[in-house]
Structure 1
């Protein structure tokens, strides 16, 4: 048996500029790395990066859960732990454990983590390019966006008429085929959402996420019926409850593994969305490179089951420094290698 020795490493990563949404703002990301060692010298890494406004536990709850977790898993066997995860873990803490086990077990198998999850996983994943908040500087951030890409923009922080006018001006500067993925983060009352969607009629919109402050199935369904592009839910998933699955009012589900509880939990949620007739994509919570690698491999595993819209992987560039080497963005895609595991193995002691 290959028994585990766990270690936890705290971190704080400053951002290059503040991350601003209708739900709030932050200028750094803090969390913990969970490192698992086995008796053969292999190591696996997972990241716990709580973000309560996205739907995770609080940092204090995550810290307490990680301390309890380390005591519970000391000396356990990785494969057995993967089959039967400890009950009661909050989502970001569970994500760290799932990711670290995935890293360790896929290294043991000599496979990329994506192909350990799904043998049919591709080794390239398309992503939307995250340009941050729609503001007077957005046009400058279009530099280098390739033709045909999807660009993600946060909306809902200025009057509807002002944001629509900015989008119209921005449209004239877009490279060929580029479309807007818009995210209101629950900024609007229904009337505001209706006005915004009506104003999008002549704009190249790929989708709109979380349009309503108080999301409900009936209101979302009425809004979706007015536009040809998908509306999506993310933070409001739990609030919508079972009615979302019984009578899906929208066409897309945005899944954050850090919020869902890890790679396997995210894939299960995506499968359920597909069975209900919704497409799904995976996205980060502006975590460090270890967490982004986990989302990337999970997205590739999902792509091996069904095609997805471009995922949300392009957030590493927002960090002024990172935990280790993040996935490399080439245009609007990210490539995985044939190496085993979840991420390039950092030298021993990197996080001590």
Structure 2
């Protein structure tokens, strides 16, 4: 299977409401779809969507690098191109993710496997030779605890979500705990909260929030500390039964130190930060081997990116709810995202990635390298 052409589509997808992160809020998702065509007629797709707030991945630099890297693939066999990708993402991990995803899409199609199964087939299985599931549990993303209403909470419960995620750390601890207690009366016994503090608190405030949360159905809190250290996180985790999770602070704390010290119980994985599904899958395997659980999450990626992340979560197959039910936050999308049924995101029933661009998606072909 030889790559005969490459094409790129630039998109700007408005959100239905602002999404809050540690770096601030954003109301639009910008990125590029990559398409690779082959002499067999197969097409592979990848999503290049730098994480909001990334200083290095500017739109101009990202698009130029994506086109340059895509141009170099023309004339190569997909499997050879996949093996030739540099293992480290460097300063533009979203570009590497798009290239790698499109190549994995092609090679999985050639192997006759869904992408999740292909990811597992290339590694020693996490659990014997069991095939990955056709769907993964996901948490509902409800936004700020201060703004969510009873109707949204009830609706998410009725849709079968096992975990409901809320943003905290934007108001006083007392007011947020009081709101959580009010909302908790709406939850069925099997449904739990997942909270994201976005690096909001001092150590003292984090300890106070955890004590106040002890009797609430909270299964995880992401990034509780404004300036975390491994020791501070370790102390916090030792004092609570709630799983603490590291997300964006992994770049400051260091992945190797996190794996060796295990200061918390969970690690949040975002493929655009790690530069690919393969590095992300490898990290999840290493984390599992030392007792760290991994949750795959989306930062409002397009349908293509969410589909790829869902294959990753299915390949990891750790039975946790992953943070991939974010497509409803987009007012428009690049295609149809995977369906969510009874709180589970269902993978496409096809080989490869299974992404199909929507109507109106116009790709601009990348010029092939000069033969001279």
User: Is 1:158 aligned with 2:171?
Assistant: yes
Of 195, 201, 207, the residue aligned with 2:220 is: 207
Distance 1:68 1:182 in 2: 40
With over 3 angstroms needed to count, the CA separation of the structure-2 counterparts of 1:250 and 1:338, relative to structure 1, is: same
Question: What 5-or-longer segments of structure 1 have no aligned partner?
Answer: none
Q: Paired residue for 1:59?
A: 59
Distance 1:190 1:166 in 2: 22
Cα RMSD between the aligned structures?
Answer: 2.0
Distance 1:326 1:251 in 2: 30
**Per-residue deviation, 1:3:** 2.9
The answer to whether the 8 Å contact 2:335/2:356 transfers is no
The answer to whether the 8 Å contact 1:131/1:141 transfers is yes
Q: Paired residue for 2:77?
A: 77
Using the TM superposition, name which of 191-200 and 51-60 deviates more: 51-60
**Per-residue deviation, 1:347:** 7.5
The answer to whether the 8 Å contact 1:234/1:255 transfers is yes
With over 3 angstroms needed to count, the CA separation of the structure-2 counterparts of 1:239 and 1:9, relative to structure 1, is: same
Give deviations 1:163-201, integer Å, cap 9, x for gaps: 111111111122332110000111111111111111101
User: Is 1:113 aligned with 2:115?
Assistant: yes
- For the residue of structure 2 that corresponds to 1:46, the secondary structure is strand
Distance 2:74 2:359 in 1: 20
Give deviations 1:112-163, integer Å, cap 9, x for gaps: 1111222521112111111111124332211322367100111111111111
**Per-residue deviation, 1:56:** 7.5
Within 5 Å, give how 1:8-19 maps onto structure 2: 8-19=8-19
**Per-residue deviation, 1:349:** 7.8
Of 76, 90, 93, the residue aligned with 1:91 is: 93
Distance 1:4 1:253 in 2: 39
**Per-residue deviation, 1:281:** 1.5
**Per-residue deviation, 1:16:** 1.1
Distance 2:189 2:27 in 1: 33
Q: Paired residue for 1:176?
A: 189
With over 3 angstroms needed to count, the CA separation of the structure-2 counterparts of 1:296 and 1:17, relative to structure 1, is: same
**Per-residue deviation, 1:336:** 2.1
Q: Paired residue for 1:322?
A: 333
With over 3 angstroms needed to count, the CA separation of the structure-2 counterparts of 1:110 and 1:140, relative to structure 1, is: same
- For the residue of structure 2 that corresponds to 1:281, the secondary structure is strand
The answer to whether the 8 Å contact 1:164/1:199 transfers is yes
Give deviations 1:181-240, integer Å, cap 9, x for gaps: 000111111111111111101110010000011111000001001110210001011211
Q: Paired residue for 1:333?
A: 344
Within 5 Å, give how 1:1-352 maps onto structure 2: 2-53=2-53, 57-86=57-86, 90-118=92-120, 120-146=131-157, 149-241=162-254, 242-303=256-317, 307-346=318-357, 350-352=361-363
Using the TM superposition, name which of 166-175 and 53-62 deviates more: 53-62
Give deviations 1:280-324, integer Å, cap 9, x for gaps: 121111010000000011111111xxx241111100000011100
Give deviations 1:26-51, integer Å, cap 9, x for gaps: 11101001110111221110001111
What TM-score do you get using the length of structure 2 for normalisation?
0.88
With over 3 angstroms needed to count, the CA separation of the structure-2 counterparts of 1:18 and 1:348, relative to structure 1, is: closer
The answer to whether the 8 Å contact 1:56/1:258 transfers is no
- For the residue of structure 1 that corresponds to 2:62, the secondary structure is helix
**Per-residue deviation, 1:85:** 0.4
What TM-score do you get using the length of structure 1 for normalisation?
0.93
Distance 1:231 1:56 in 2: 29
Distance 2:169 2:23 in 1: 9
